[in-house]
Amino acid sequence: MILLDGAATAKSIKLEIASEVEALKKSGQKVPHLAAVLVGDDGASMTYVGSKVKSCEEVGFVSTLITRPSNTTEEELLQIVDQLNRDPEIDGYIIQLPLPKHINEHKILLAIDPEKDVDGFHPVNVGKMMLNLPCFLPATPAGIIELLRRYQVPTEGKHAVVIGRSHIVGLPVSVLLQRNAYPGNCTVTIAHSRTSDLKSLCKSADIVIAALGKPEFVTGEMIKEGAVVVDVGITRVVDASKKSGFRIAGDVNFAEVAEKCSFITPVPGGVGPMTIVSLLMNTLSAVKNHR
């Protein structure tokens, strides 16, 4: 079993990005500038945004964190989006999701300039991804693909089962895996809550992408000997033995599954760090596009 070490891979990609940033600086060009907007005080969101900002610093990007209270109005947020769209200093930005319930996420999303949409969530970028045109790929799916690439995991003709049909992970990663490319050329099955007999389906898969958000859902008996397993889940589970009172669990029962796998991602340290690195890569390419 080979561990798909997202943390180590992300670290080496960050070094590559940092040297590209150095080269930009030396040639007198603009240093990438990522802005992040955080509305409200959701604990997990604060952690995620914090990691993103910290990663920017590590690679030499400029970063701006814009925080607003949870009672911020939709109109106020749209104004921030408009300012970010027009600010030539900002190469790319993200609006951390979820937003407070009184704000229409789709409305905000559609207001983002697709050229600065480094999360790859705007319909223009989603559509271009579908059509295999240059675009910002959504961060988590792109991170998964990059991890498979770096470990030279064979994908052509393999049967990939994606569990979960979310717009930010399951659906786009299924699109990327079926593409005529490497990594890609998989026969892809997208499974979800209405799928009947998910166990046998999983068991038949060469590659399993677990992205349903149910802690330790994928068990050993659901996995074929030699399969590749990518765990996108990240849930806090109550655990009295921990000082914090909880532990982080993936969608995969690692202890049971790992021993059957050819490759597997850990949680944490698997898909998570690769997601952040995708965001950095998108921001770097935003600068190049605007040059």
The binding site for a copy of itself (CB under 8 A) comprises 106, 122-133, 156-157, 159, 165, 167, 171-172, 174-175, 178, 180, 185, 187-192, 194-196, 201
Nearest residue (CB) to a copy of itself, 127 versus 226: 127
Tell me the three state secondary structure of residue 54: helix
Q: Which residues pair with 64 in a beta bridge?
A: 35
Q: Give me the least distance between CB of 42 and a copy of itself, in Å please.
A: 22
Q: Please name the helix (run of DSSP H) or strand (run of DSSP E) that holds residue 187, with its range, or none.
A: strand 187-191
Query: How many angstroms separate the CA atoms of 233 and 25, rounded?
Result: 37
Q: Give me the least distance between CB of 157 and a copy of itself, in Å please.
A: 5
User: Burial level of 37, CB count in 10 A (0-12/13-18/19+)?
Assistant: buried
Nearest residue (CB) to a copy of itself, 7 versus 130: 130
Nearest residue (CB) to a copy of itself, 69 versus 226: 226
Q: Give me the least distance between CB of 160 and a copy of itself, in Å please.
A: 10
Q: Work out the number of other CB atoms within 10 angstroms of the CB of residue 225.
A: 8
Rounded to the nearest angstrom, the gap between the alpha carbon of residue 105 and the centroid of all alpha carbons in its chain is: 18
User: Burial level of 42, CB count in 10 A (0-12/13-18/19+)?
Assistant: middle
Query: How many angstroms separate the CA atoms of 231 and 7, rounded?
Result: 14
Q: Give me the least distance between CB of 70 and a copy of itself, in Å please.
A: 25
Nearest residue (CB) to a copy of itself, 45 versus 185: 185
Nearest residue (CB) to a copy of itself, 192 versus 224: 192
The 3-state secondary structure of 119-140 reads CCCCHHHHHHHHCCCCCCCCHH
Q: Which residues are catalytic?
A: 52, 96, 119
Q: Give me the least distance between CB of 130 and a copy of itself, in Å please.
A: 5
Query: How many angstroms separate the CA atoms of 2 and 27, rounded?
Result: 40
